[in-house]
Chains A and B, each alone.
Chain A
Amino acid sequence: MSRLFTATVTENRRIIKDHYLITLHPSGKIKKPGPGTFFMLDVNTGFDPLLKRPFSLHRWLGRDFQLLYRTAGKGTYLLSKKRKGDTLEVLGPLGNGFPVRKKAKNIMLVAGGIGIAPIIGLAEALVPSKSVIKKGGMHKNLPVLFYGARTKNEILCTDDLRSLDMEPIISTDDGTLGKKGNIVNVIKRYLTAHPSRVRDSVFFACGPTPMLKALSTFAVRHKIRGYAALEEHMACGIGTCLGCVVQTSRGHKRVCREGPVFPIEEIIW
């Protein structure tokens, strides 16, 4: 099971403006990717762009996998032009992923914008199957999802959340859906109203840096554990270029190897 493989595009669907869902079918069996791990995709065979592009796992389908992405530059634009049947070279799964502990109490998932991509896969891994819930087990431990986006239209994956029986607590910058404002303020108000939730709780977060930074400050102040999935420009994805380091309380750490998921209190913003 090589981590360098060819994958065929089985679907590459535009969901809303600038947002796409791609399904890839690896040529052979690959290592099962955990939530929060990522893949490097060769979006073109020429030299511009030169390097593979990192994308976090959205959903693992058993053999195929899905990536949810927003077009932001040349690489993602080229990826959005891939059609069913196209093939691309892929490296992965890479990185550590979220430390999934099903027994953890009071799991709070936090997604900002396209940061919802790995959070959905994580939610699927954390939420017990419906049969377990029917038997009355684990119901109280259902994770709570806080989900912030710019506007109503950019709230994605609502069908996935419905099938998981998850009711996200939503905020939008323009107030078109959920609370108006940033999601970290919503979390603060939620935990003020539910003080019992603060104990034994843990955050799993992915989103823009200002959101993660604000969440980190809040979590540290209230002694809440948390993990954040980071992104950084990277060349190799396997730990050799040292291009993707972030500053942590334990020195420079590579997003591709020691990360992309880091304990939230270790990150120096």
Chain B
Amino acid sequence: MTENSTPDLRVSIGGLKLRNPVMTASGTFGYGDEYAEFVDLNRLGAIVVKGLSLRPRQGNPPPRIVETPAGMLNAIGLQNIGINAFIKKKLPFLRQLRTPVIANFFGDSIGEYVRAAEKLDNTDGIHALEMNISCPNKQAGWSIFGTDPKVTFKVVTEVRQAVDKPLIVKLSPNVTDISIMARAAEDAGADAISAINTITGMVIDIKSRKPRLANTTGGLSGPAIRPVAVRMVWECYRAVSIPVIGMGGIVSAEDAVEFMLAGAAAVAVGTGNFIRPGITIDVIEGIRSYMKSSCIRSMRELTGAAQC
């Protein structure tokens, strides 16, 4: 291969073809429109929208975010405009783009998950579904859809049976062994896995002795969690044969490549969008330069190439 040949950044995730492997992580890119001023949205691999539920949700009371060393803790509480408003008000803008749209969704019960998924599956302009299983399960007391492999298997199975579009399951890192959760999702018919969601954390103000978040605990994101995320992507990659989408503190192309070497077929940039809108384009161009200078022709040569 000569220095001038162009690397091929295309990837396929459960049948969904992306022009490059860089997506936006749910909850960090709104519904895309807010970023149009700063990012050529047509250059992104995919846009993953803010998590949607059947009905609109007000979310948690403020304060909702607090900064931590190299990271941030958030407890937004899944505030969103609801699927109907999304389809009516936000999707028409996204439909004009060439970039695939992935709808992140969640529910309070298996029934709600299924109904939300069906609605999104039957809507034009949505190319894949990403299921957030890191939310409390009303039916089973305090347990969470994403921490009990049997519950994960059940909810993913039911959603899988209800939808035709590619189904991505976004895993919670708040488990002892994420590979068990990844296998449960794969066995239930998931087309791909997103890893990881935020890591539960807590910050206390030592003057007032009160938690800094109204919700007491929140989800940690940003560069602080990257090594944990890379490790978990590597564990998922070894456990399943479906593609893994890696995320957790990616703010540069080097970070993205690290995830790919650990086994990610694609990556998502999350908190990095808050640090600097437009960061996604730098990550894409950086991956291209890295591949060029390392004589890597396709993404397949990178995924899982870490020598462990």
Q: How far is the CB of A73 from chain B (nearest CB, A)?
A: 9
Docked-complex contact B66 and A3, CB < 8 angstroms: no
List of A residues within 8 angstroms of B271 by Cβ: 50, 235
Q: Which one, A42, A47, A233, A244, contacts B66 given CB within 8 A?
A: A233
Indicate whether A242 reaches chain B with its CB closer than 8 angstroms: yes
Docked-complex contact B76 and A243, CB < 8 angstroms: yes
A242/B67 contact (C-beta < 8 A), A51-B72, A89-B276, A91-B277 known: no
A252 to B60, CA, bound (A): 9
Q: Which of B39-68 contact A (CB under 8 A)?
A: 50, 58-59, 61-67
Docked-complex contact A245 and B275, CB < 8 angstroms: no
Indicate whether B28 reaches chain A with its CB closer than 8 angstroms: yes
Docked-complex contact A4 and B74, CB < 8 angstroms: no
- Pick out which of these stretches binds chain A: B30-38, B112-120, B127-135, B149-157: B30-38
Docked-complex contact B59 and A51, CB < 8 angstroms: no
Docked-complex contact B62 and A247, CB < 8 angstroms: yes
Q: How far is the CB of A37 from chain B (nearest CB, A)?
A: 16
Indicate whether A234 reaches chain B with its CB closer than 8 angstroms: yes
Docked-complex contact B65 and A252, CB < 8 angstroms: no
Q: Which of A224-264 contact B (CB under 8 A)?
A: 232-236, 238-247, 251-252
List of A residues within 8 angstroms of B59 by Cβ: 242, 245, 252
Indicate whether A48 reaches chain B with its CB closer than 8 angstroms: yes
**Secondary structure of the A contact surface, majority rule:** loop
Docked-complex contact A240 and B69, CB < 8 angstroms: no
Docked-complex contact B64 and A48, CB < 8 angstroms: no
Indicate whether B223 reaches chain A with its CB closer than 8 angstroms: yes
List of A residues within 8 angstroms of B222 by Cβ: 47, 50
Docked-complex contact A241 and B28, CB < 8 angstroms: yes
Docked-complex contact A243 and B65, CB < 8 angstroms: yes
Indicate whether A210 reaches chain B with its CB closer than 8 angstroms: no
Query: CB-CB contacts of A208-224 with B at 8 A, as 1s and 0s?
Result: 00000000000000000
Docked-complex contact A51 and B67, CB < 8 angstroms: yes
Docked-complex contact A4 and B67, CB < 8 angstroms: no
Docked-complex contact A50 and B62, CB < 8 angstroms: no
Q: How far is the CB of B114 from chain A (nearest CB, A)?
A: 26
Docked-complex contact B65 and A235, CB < 8 angstroms: yes
Query: CB-CB contacts of A14-52 with B at 8 A, as 1s and 0s?
Result: 000000000000000000000000000010000111111
Q: How far is the CB of B48 from chain A (nearest CB, A)?
A: 12
Docked-complex contact B37 and A3, CB < 8 angstroms: yes
Indicate whether B278 reaches chain A with its CB closer than 8 angstroms: yes
List of A residues within 8 angstroms of B277 by Cβ: 4, 91, 236, 238
Q: Which residue of B lies closest to A46 (CB)?
A: B70
Q: How many residues of A contact B (CB 8 A)?
A: 29
List of A residues within 8 angstroms of B34 by Cβ: 238-240
Of A4, A233, A238, A242, chain B has the most CB atoms within 10 Å of the CB of A242
Q: Which one, A3, A52, A240, A247, contacts B61 given CB within 8 A?
A: A247
Docked-complex contact A235 and B278, CB < 8 angstroms: no
Indicate whether B217 reaches chain A with its CB closer than 8 angstroms: no
Q: Which residue of B lies closest to A74 (CB)?
A: B67
Q: For chains A and B in complex, what number of residue pairs have CB atoms within 8 angstroms?
A: 96
List of B residues within 8 angstroms of A242 by Cβ: 50, 59, 64, 76, 79
Q: How far is the CB of A118 from chain B (nearest CB, A)?
A: 21
Docked-complex contact B70 and A50, CB < 8 angstroms: yes
Q: Which one, B58, B66, B224, B273, contacts A236 given CB within 8 A?
A: B273
Q: How far is the CB of A15 from chain B (nearest CB, A)?
A: 26
Q: How far is the CB of B147 from chain A (nearest CB, A)?
A: 24
Docked-complex contact A241 and B275, CB < 8 angstroms: no
Q: Which one, B251, B274, B276, contacts A241 given CB within 8 A?
A: B274
Q: Which of B219-256 contact A (CB under 8 A)?
A: 222-224, 251
Q: Which residue of A lies closest to B212 (CB)?
A: A233
Docked-complex contact B275 and A50, CB < 8 angstroms: yes
A252 to B77, CA, bound (A): 12
List of B residues within 8 angstroms of A236 by Cβ: 28, 273-274, 277
Q: Which one, B29, B35, B38, B62, contacts A232 given CB within 8 A?
A: B62
List of A residues within 8 angstroms of B223 by Cβ: 47, 50
Indicate whether B71 reaches chain A with its CB closer than 8 angstroms: yes
Docked-complex contact B69 and A48, CB < 8 angstroms: yes
Q: Which of A37-96 contact B (CB under 8 A)?
A: 42, 47-52, 89, 91
Q: Which of A126-175 contact B (CB under 8 A)?
A: none
Q: How far is the CB of A50 from chain B (nearest CB, A)?
A: 5
List of A residues within 8 angstroms of B69 by Cβ: 47-48
List of A residues within 8 angstroms of B224 by Cβ: 47
Q: How far is the CB of A262 from chain B (nearest CB, A)?
A: 13
Q: Which residue of B lies closest to A75 (CB)?
A: B67
List of B residues within 8 angstroms of A251 by Cβ: 58
Docked-complex contact B61 and A241, CB < 8 angstroms: no
Docked-complex contact A235 and B76, CB < 8 angstroms: no
Closest 6 CB pairs of A and B: A243-B65, A240-B30, A47-B70, A235-B274, A236-B274, A242-B76
Q: Which residues on B are within 8 Å of A, measured CB to CB?
A: 27-30, 34-35, 37-38, 50, 58-59, 61-67, 69-72, 74, 76, 79, 222-224, 251, 271, 273-278
Known A-B contacts: A241-B28, A243-B74, A252-B62. Give 13 more (CB < 8 A): A4-B276, A42-B275, A47-B69, A50-B67, A232-B63, A233-B65, A235-B74, A239-B34, A240-B273, A242-B50, A242-B59, A243-B76, A245-B59
